[in-house]
Every structure is written in structure tokens, then in C-alpha cells.
Amino acid sequence: MSTTTPQTWPQIRNAGVDGMLVSFADALSEPSNRAALAFRERIEREGWDGVLETSSTLASAFVRFDPFVLPHVELRMRLEALLTEVNWFNAAPPNERRFWRIPAAFGGELAPQLGGAAEAAGMTVAEAVTSLSSARVRVTTLGFAAGQPYLGELPEAWNLPRQSGLTPKVPVGALVVAIRQFVLFATSAPTGWQHVAQTAFTCFRPDSETPFALRAGDEVQFTPITREELEAIRTRDTSGDGGATVEPIR
Amino acid sequence: MSGLRVVSIGPSVTVQDQGRPGFVASGLSRGGAVDLLALSEGAALLGQCADLATLEMAGFGGVFKAERDLRIALTGAAMQASLDGAPLRWNASHAVPMGAELRIGAASSGGYGYLHLGGGVDAPMVMGARSTDLNSQIGRRVADGDLLPVGPDVGGPVGCVLDGASRDDGGTIRMVRSFQTPLFAKDELARFEATVFHRDMRGNRMGVRLKPQGAGFQAEGGLTVLSEIIMIGDVQMTGDGAPFVLLPEAQTTGGYPRIGTILPCDLPKLVQAPPDADLRFTFITLEEALDAERAFKAQLADLPRQIAPLIRAPGDVPDLLTYQLISGVARGDEEH
């Protein structure tokens, strides 16, 4: 057996030949996500030669580097030093975060799985809309598709399993829910998560000066609108924001 | 604007360069050519920078018409190629005069062939690269009737060959252990290294599935793990236990356990393996892997010095005099 060693966190591990991963947990939790976000920002602030890019995932900070400029041993030592600075699980969230309010049409023909998701969560449809639209969630990571956010953490009632049967395709801007998280679809794709609302928000805008609308650490609330209001937003919006408002978090 | 006109094109031809690194934090894969060695070989043949964009042809090329005088180079998986009906050698550079018809057919190996243009394909620059990323809807497949604009060509010799590093016969692919390797039991890892695999032809730029001879492979602790960063070359085990190698256009994070990571310098051999070629995997130490990567970098830097004049039978050349003027390298004393 190779997993008999008890695991302690955080852990620094190699990723391929030119990556290093600082993991704060092996399961999603609010403190480990916060630690990952804050630690990634801390690495960025160092501006080390040889670091090619950094990133954060649900529970890890990641560094891709040139091992011929910054050897593995050296990078590991520097990361270990940063880890001892503070208790990263209690670290303040990164700077330059923003709070987005994104209009979303819940249920109906545009988001046909709201009823089923509400039932699975033990709520009426009205309760489900209230619960989902009042949650202020954080972008825990971007992944799977360019600019596509995972948002959490939703109340325990939304700890729904992924469906074994995939929905063949949800459109861009679809808001789906499972395992106490939202995903706001950046692309049209199949999913095993439940499609509970539809937005006019475009997460990835390759021709724009800011191709990625959201950043990890940003906070989002989905404000309920009618289907007619969504159609009206679609007609007039050319920015991709889909009627969203944004303000800095201080 | 003039360049190379696409008369008809194979099902999966895209413009590719070194890719679009630096956006992993935003969920955008690096993308770029799946056989980066082929990019450097094409650049060496044309005496230009390996950052220029080229045409990546998955399994099948197309028919093209030159709308100006062009220099081209052909690298990667060998495909049947001809210029106005005369066969063209692969792993070589050629002059394509205005009006000439270039035909590139199938790769017998099913791998990726590359058509390089002197001056590069001048496709629009999006977020620092010209690479098409179908998954992120940046650019699209090359289509019939397209005009591929060509960048300014520095000029240089044509009629040159480069005996490209052999990578059309499978063989042993080197891997390093990665952060999820310990999810696999020791005997499972040993069985993985002892197993012969064949490439499944249904692969694409996101990844390629490998068919094991024998049972599939499973991580301990179940099917999925917390979604975590993906490295290009990661070998993940999906539900059926068949390894799936993640290529440059793979998603940036994923929840299937990964047994290890293929060395970047061994990826060309994997993506170009014909379906009947035996593939095996071996884990090497990180130090050995870094030595291999260093040697690969040196090999790329040395490619321009390995260019040699193409030696042809005179009968293959319709007008020897013209050919010599264009090529500038035929000395007239080549052996046949």
C-alpha cells in the first residue's frame, strides 16, 4: 500500500517536471481554498526569476517554473519558508477582489432542472430560488474551460451528487449546481450538474482587453430576474457582462 | 493580401504555434502544436524562428494553390505530398512558385503532419499567440476556400532535408512520478510499466486514449479525487482504466487520478505513434528527466546545423536549371 503514511497539510509536491503544488487539503473546504488563494498571491508578490506562472485550484497553489533557472530544491526551500510565515488557513483573502451581482433567470424553459434540484435539496421552488439567490459565493477556482468559475460554498442542503446521466449540452451563461457549488458555464458543454438558472454573462471574451471577466477570489451573487428581463438584457448588452454590476471589495 | 489558397482541406487542420502559456490561473490551456519538435524542425529547414505559426494537419492534409512564390517545409508525420503532380519529399524544404498546386494526402501513421510557410502563417494574434484553440473557441479549423496569409519571409535556401528524430515507431516513453502517483499501489505501478499499449486513433488535441494489452488500471480510493491542476503529458485513468494522455488543449484541471507525467521531450513520440506500434512506459527520476530535457533543448538548438541539401534523381526535377536557381543549394555534384 502506498497511502498508509498519515497525511499532514500543507504539502509541497512536484507536478510533472516543471511544476510544484502547495496543497492545503485533499477535499474542498472554505479555509483550504482561502489558504490556496492567499498563498498564490504571496508567491506572485515575490516575483521570483524562473517562475513562469502561478495559479490556484480548489485547495492548492501551483507554480510552473523553469527548473534550469530555479532548481526544484531551491524553489521548495523558498516555498517552505513562505509557508511558515503565517497560518495560511486563517489568511486574509487576496487583494483586488470584486463583488459581482449577476442577473439570473431561475427555472422555466431556460433552466429546466430547477424543480428537480429544489426537490433534491428538500425545498419548494420558491425556497430554492431564495436560497440560491441570497448566497454570496466566492470564485474558488477557474477551470475546466477558459474563464469558467467554480463558486462556493452553498448551504449544506445543496450537497447534491452529480447526475450520472449527462445533460447533453447547456448554453453559455448556464448556472448549474452540485456538491455545494455553482459553475457558471463559459462555454456550451455537457454537464452532470443541474441547470437551475440562466444568465447572459460571458466568462471568456478572447477579443476583449480583459478576456477573463472573473478572478479567483471574486464574490458573486445571482439576482433573480424574469425571462423577459433576461431577453431584454441580451438585446442591449454588448459587453458580455449581461447586466451585471461590479464593485471592489474593501 | 496573398498567400496560400486552400482548395480543399482535411477534417482537422488548424493553425498552431508554440501556444498561449500563462493563463492556467484563468482556466485557459496552453494549446499550441502537439508535436513541438516538428515546429522546430520546420523552422530549422526554413531558417526562421520556431515561434512562427504553421499548419497542423491531423491525419490528412489538403489541396492548396500558391498565390505567390512561397517556401515551404514539411515535417512531423510523413504524408503523401506532391507539387504539380511531382512527389515531394517529407522532412524537407521546397520552393512553391506562384500558381503551383500543392497536394498533401494521408499520413499512413495517422499522426500529425506540419506544413510550414516561409514567413509563417500570418493568422490573427489572439492573447499573444496565433494558435487555434477549438476547445476555447479561439479561431476555427481551416476550411475550403480560406486564404492563409503569409508573413514576411526572410528568405533562404530550399531543397534541404533534415533527418528528423525518428518518432513513428512507438517505443518506450519516459515518465516522472507526479503528485497523484502515490494514489496507485506499487504493484499497479509495476504492472503499468510492464504493459504494452497501443494508441487509440480517436484522439484529438485534448488527449489520446491508450489501449492496454490486458486489464486497465485503477487508483486506490475510488474513481475521482479533488479536481487538481493538469500538466500537459499527465496520464489519467478514466472509468474504464485505460490511460488517457492529456495533450496541450486539455482542460487545466481535472478530477481523474493521474499515474504520472510524460516528459515533454517524449510527447512527440507518443502523439506520432502509429496505432500498431508498441508503446511502453518507464518511470525515471526527476534528475534523469531534467537531464533528458536539457539534452532535448540542446538537440533543438542544434537542428539548423543538421540541415543538408536534398539529393534528387535528375528525372524527378522537371526543369533542373530553374530548380537550381530557386534552391540555391544544388551544387551539381550530388550523388544519386
pLDDT tens figures, B141-154 = 999 999 999 999 98
- Dist CA B98 CA B111 (whole Å): 29
Q: Is the pLDDT of residue B1 over 80?
A: no
Question: What's the pLDDT tens digit per position in B273-282?
Answer: 999 999 999 9
Q: Is the pLDDT of residue B312 over 70?
A: no
User: pLDDT grade, residue A162 (50/70/90)?
Assistant: confident
Query: What's the 3-state SS for chain B?
Result: CCEEEEEEECCCEEEECCCCCCCHHHCCCCCCCCCHHHHHHHHHHHCCCCCCCEEEEECEEEEEEECCCEEEEEEECCEEEEECCEECCCCEEEEECCCCEEEEEEECCCCEEEEEECCCECCCCECCECCCEHHHCECCCCCCCCEEEECCCCCCCCCEECCCCCCCCCEEEEEECCCCHHHCCHHHHHHHHHCCEEECCCCCCCEEEEEECCCCCCCCCCCCCCCEECCCCEEEECCCCCEEEECCCCCCEECCCEEEEECHHHHHHHHCCCCCCCEEEEECCHHHHHHHHHHHHHHHHHHHHHCEECCCCHHHCCCHHHHHHHHCCCCCCCCC
What residues does A184 pair with on adjacent strands? A175
pLDDT at A166: 81
pLDDT at A163: 78
Q: Is the pLDDT of residue B78 over 60?
A: yes
Q: Which amino acid is at A162?
A: R
CB contact A158 to B (< 8 Å): no
What's the mean pLDDT when you consider all of chain B?
91
Task: Tell me the shortest Cα–Cα distance from B150 to chain A, in angstroms.
Answer: 22
Q: Is the pLDDT of residue B335 over 50?
A: no
Whether a cis peptide bond, with omega within 30° of 0, leads into A168 is no
| Residue bearing cell 504520472 | B260
Residues 6+ apart with CB under 8 A from B221: A3, B183
The arithmetic mean of pLDDT across residues A184-203, rounded, is: 95
Which residues in B lie closer than 8 A to residue A72 (C-beta atoms)? 286
Q: Are B183 and A206 a contacting pair at CB < 8 A?
A: no
The arithmetic mean of pLDDT across residues B49-64, rounded, is: 97
CB contact A72 to B (< 8 Å): yes
Length of chain B: 336
Inter-residue contact B236 to B256 (CB < 8 Å): yes
Does residue A221 sit in helix, strand or coil? strand
The arithmetic mean of pLDDT across residues B285-313, rounded, is: 93
pLDDT at B77: 96
What residues does B55 pair with on adjacent strands? B15, B115
**Nearest residue in B to A41, CA atom:** B25
The arithmetic mean of pLDDT across residues A45-73, rounded, is: 97
Whether a cis peptide bond, with omega within 30° of 0, leads into B56 is no
pLDDT at B202: 84
**Nearest residue in A to B181, CA atom:** A2
CB contact A166 to B (< 8 Å): no
ipTM, 2 decimals? 0.91
Q: Are B261 and A17 a contacting pair at CB < 8 A?
A: yes
Inter-residue contact A14 to A73 (CB < 8 Å): no
Q: Is the pLDDT of residue B325 over 60?
A: no
Question: What's the pLDDT tens digit per position in A14-46?
Answer: 999 999 999 999 888 889 999 999 999 999 999
Q: What percent of chain B has pLDDT over 90?
A: 81
pLDDT at B222: 60
What single DSSP character describes residue A7?
Answer: P
User: pLDDT grade, residue B315 (50/70/90)?
Assistant: low
**Nearest residue in A to B228, CA atom:** A57
Inter-residue contact A234 to A215 (CB < 8 Å): no
Name the CA dihedral angle for B180, B182, B185, B186, rounded to a multiple of 10 degrees. Answer: 120
User: pLDDT grade, residue B224 (50/70/90)?
Assistant: low
Helix axes A72-83, A30-46, angle to 10 degrees: 120
Most A CBs within 10 A among B24, B184, B247, B293, hence the mutation to make, goes to B24
The three grid cell numbers given for residue A222, joined into one nine-digit string: 445571482
Task: Give the C-alpha distances (Å, rounded to integers) separating B282 from B246, B261, B289.
Answer: 17, 11, 11
The secondary structure element, H or E, covering residue A103 is: strand A98-106
The arithmetic mean of pLDDT across residues A108-124, rounded, is: 96
The arithmetic mean of pLDDT across residues B119-132, rounded, is: 97
Question: What's the pLDDT tens digit per position in B89-114?
Answer: 999 999 999 999 999 999 988 899 99
- Closest to B173 in 3D by CA, of B201, B192, B188, B200: B192
Q: Is the pLDDT of residue B317 over 70?
A: no
The three grid cell numbers given for residue B101, joined into one nine-digit string: 498546386
Q: Is the pLDDT of residue B129 over 90?
A: yes
Task: Give the C-alpha distances (Å, rounded to integers) separating A229 from A100, A102, A143.
Answer: 18, 13, 29
Question: What's the pLDDT tens digit per position in A170-191?
Answer: 999 999 999 899 999 999 988 8
Maximum CA extent, chain B: 70
What single DSSP character describes residue A102?
Answer: E
- Dist CA B107 CA B91 (whole Å): 13
pLDDT at B336: 36
Most B CBs within 10 A among A5, A44, A55, hence the mutation to make, goes to A55
What's the mean pLDDT when you consider all of chain A?
94
Residues 6+ apart with CB under 8 A from B70: B3, B4, B95, B96, B98, B117, B118, B150, B153
pLDDT at B110: 84
Looking only at the bridges linking them, the beta strands covering A98-106 and A219-224 are parallel
User: pLDDT grade, residue B285 (50/70/90)?
Assistant: very high
pLDDT at B314: 55
pLDDT at B104: 98
CB contact A107 to B (< 8 Å): no
Q: Which long-range contacts (CB under 8 A, 24 or more apart) does A120-129 make?
A: A120/A160, A120/A194, A121/A157, A121/A158, A121/A160, A122/A157, A123/A157, A128/A196, A129/A224
Which residues in A lie closer than 8 A to residue B24 (C-beta atoms)? 53, 55, 62, 64
Q: Is the pLDDT of residue A238 over 60?
A: yes
Q: Which amino acid is at A63?
A: V
Residues 6+ apart with CB under 8 A from A34: A89, A91, A93
- Dist CA A219 CA B115 (whole Å): 46
Looking only at the bridges linking them, the beta strands covering B101-107 and B92-96 are unpaired
- Dist CA B152 CA B70 (whole Å): 11
Q: Is the pLDDT of residue B320 over 70?
A: no
Q: Is the pLDDT of residue A159 over 80?
A: yes
The arithmetic mean of pLDDT across residues B42-64, rounded, is: 97
